[in-house]
């Protein structure tokens, strides 16, 4: 189904160790509006879409969200790879370090593990697509907040790329919503 190219969708070049920023980035990894939840949500919702265009769109965006998980994980790893246990603890990542050392784990910035309860899927395509548009706007807003919290040029560059992809996804879900609504309104003669 997929062809995996062994490179990030967009290059990530973090300039320095920054435990504070690493903790904040966890919101886009394992938080309720993060990339992991979005990927799984979209890849699940595609099965109940009534048109091939909508199914294809959810597959494409769901797959891209997995690429965004990879980028977020790369950023967190680069920000923490040379951190000492003391630095991890001072940044509020001491519990993560105690359990996993510097390994990544899908959780929010408070250490609450990612859960499938974050996924929305109702089998009503209008409901799901509208939810997805809202989810993309929440992710865009989170990226804007994260951009304002760092002065690292490489970090800002990657976060801006991710923010812009959220805008594109919002627009594409809007297109899919229009297509699905037109399909539902069309007379069906059997």
Which residues participate in catalysis according to the annotation?
35, 65, 68, 136, 166, 169
HSE value, Cβ hemisphere, 13 Å, CA-based, for 127: 7
> Residue 45 phi/psi, 5° resolution?
-65, -25
Task: Say how far apart CA 147 and CA 166 lie, in whole Å.
Answer: 14
Alpha carbon separation from 64 to 10, 90, 104, 154 (Å, rounded):
11, 34, 20, 21
Short-list 161, 106, 116, CA closest to 139: 161
Written as six digits, the tokens of 171 are 């627009």
């Amino acid at each position: 189904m997929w062809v995996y190219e062994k490179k990030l969708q967009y290059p990530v070049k973090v300039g320095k160790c920054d435990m504070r920023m690493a903790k904040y980035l966890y919101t886009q990894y394992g938080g309720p509006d993060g990339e992991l939840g979005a990927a799984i949500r979209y890849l699940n919702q595609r099965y109940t879409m009534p048109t091939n265009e909508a199914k294809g769109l959810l597959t494409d965006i769901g797959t891209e969200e997995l690429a965004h998980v990879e980028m977020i994980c790369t950023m967190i790893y680069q920000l923490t790879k040379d951190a000492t246990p003391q630095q991890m603890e001072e940044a509020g990542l001491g519990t993560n370090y105690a359990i996993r050392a510097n390994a990544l784990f899908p959780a929010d910035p408070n250490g609450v593990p990612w859960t499938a309860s974050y996924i929305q899927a109702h089998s009503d395509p209008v409901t799901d697509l509208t939810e997805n548009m809202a989810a993309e706007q929440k992710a865009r807003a989170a990226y804007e907040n994260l951009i304002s919290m760092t002065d690292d040029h490489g970090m800002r560059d990657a976060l801006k790329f991710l923010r812009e992809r959220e805008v594109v996804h919002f627009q594409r879900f809007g297109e899919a919503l229009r297509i699905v609504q037109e399909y539902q309104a069309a007379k069906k003669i059997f």
